[in-house]
Each structure stands twice: as structure tokens, then as C-alpha cells.
Structure 1
Amino acid sequence: MLVMYGIRNCDTVRKARKLLDEKKATYTFHDYKKEGADEQALKDACAQFGWEAVLNKRGTTWRKLDDETKVGVTDQESAISLMMQETSLIKRPLVTGGKQLLLGFDAVLWDELLEKGELY
């Protein structure tokens, strides 16, 4: 079963959920704000995409961190530790449980994967 990790009111997550709903895809939604981060899902995402891609440094949460915290993120372990504490730092959405792991939302790619039956 697909699991989409994200934050309910994130615009990108809303677009991704809308596409899955329109395609009648079966999935569960894991809201980081209510349920926290899933450490194993983060480890899997970091293993596939690299921790630098999973850690969202472009958002407000990263910019608000103090310099000492930012400098302390030097490897996967420190990145995951910080993302577990500050779930808004995780690139969204993250989709697990299918034929492939997805990070971020690309409407064209997702639509192709759904049409071809390659998402789940």
C-alpha cells in the first residue's frame, strides 16, 4: 500500500494528493505535523536520493535555524536527526510502499507512472 508522507496544508502535497485521488489510487496519508516523521522512511529516502536531496534547505524552517545547527548537519545521521525534530525540513511529498520511492512532486511523471501501473 502506498503511503504519502507530508504536511496536510503544503501546496505541493495538496497537488500530489489531488492527482492520486483523481486517479483513484489507494494510499494512506501520514501527516508529519500530527504523526511525526518515520525514521525508516527517511533512511530509505536518504539511501536512494542522498540526504542532501531529502533535507529541504530552501524553506523558511531552514532559514530560521541558527548557524550552529546548520553547520552541524554534515552527514546522513545528523540530517535525519534534525529532520526527525523539525519535520518541515523534509522534502515533500515522500511516497513509499509502491514499486518505487518518490520524493517531491512531478505531475507528469506521477501521471505516467499511474497510467503504466508502475507506481504500485
Structure 2
Amino acid sequence: MLNFYQHTTCSSCRKGRQWLENNTMEYQVIDMIAQPPSKKQLMEWMAASNLPISRFFNTSGNRYRELNLKDTLPEMTAEEAAELLSTDGMLIKRPLVSNGEKITLGFNEDVFEKEWLK
């Protein structure tokens, strides 16, 4: 089963949920604002994904701009980034989907097909 981390008003999350339903995928919804992933979980995802740390951040969000992360993110370690992300779900790229082994960030139909229809 997939864990689908979302923000309830996010249009990308709605598109992602719709795609999962259209493809009869089993998933559980987790409100990433009320229950952001833990620092430990984020560290594991960062290590397993081989994605740049910046991909985990919602770079178009207000919180990202308020904290001026564009300038400080390049200097952050994975541990520092995971600590920050674990304290504020609004900073995390969404939807975040994981099956425990792999992860996708954001909604892209081609990526969802490649990763979740196997």
C-alpha cells in the first residue's frame, strides 16, 4: 500500500489522488501539514532516492520564500534539511508518495506510471 502525503487544498495532490483512483491503486492519505514525516523517515528517503535535497522542498511555497531558503538550502546538509522539513509540512514538495522502498515527489503522470504501475 502507498502512503500518500498531501495538503488538502493542493491541486497537485488532487490530481495525484485521482490518478491513483483511476488506476485502482491502494493508498492511505496522510495530511502532511498535521503529520509531517519524521526527520528519520526523511533522511531514509533522501538516501534511498538519490534525488538532490532541493527536490524535497516546495520551492514555490510561501514558507520557502519567507525563510529565504533559496539562499540557504545549497549549504544545508541532508540532516539539516530533514530536520527543517520534519517541523513544517508546508515546506515539503507534494504530493509525496512512498511504498516504503521508493518515493515520488510532486505529481507527474509519466513518473507515476513508471514508478507505481510496475
CA distance in 2, matches of 1:50, 1:111: 22
Question: Once the 2 structures are TM-superposed, how far is the Cα of residue 99 of structure 1 from its aligned partner?
Answer: 6.3
Identity of aligned residues (%): 26
Quick one: which of 71, 78, 81 aligns to 1:79? 81
Moved more, 15-24 or 73-82: 73-82
| TM-score (normalizing by structure 2) | 0.80
Q: Deviations over 1:36-57 (max 9, x none)?
A: 3233431233221131211223
Aligned to 1:62: 64
| Number of aligned residues | 114
Structure 1 unaligned blocks of 5 or more: none
Contact 1:41–1:96 (CA under 8 A) maintained in structure 2? no
CA distance in 1, matches of 2:43, 2:101: 17
Q: Which amino acid aligns with 2:10?
A: C
CA distance in 2, matches of 1:98, 1:76: 19
Aligned to 2:53: 51
CA distance in 2, matches of 1:8, 1:41: 21
Gap change, CA 1:98 and 1:79, over 3 Å in 2: closer
Rg comparison, structure with higher value: 1
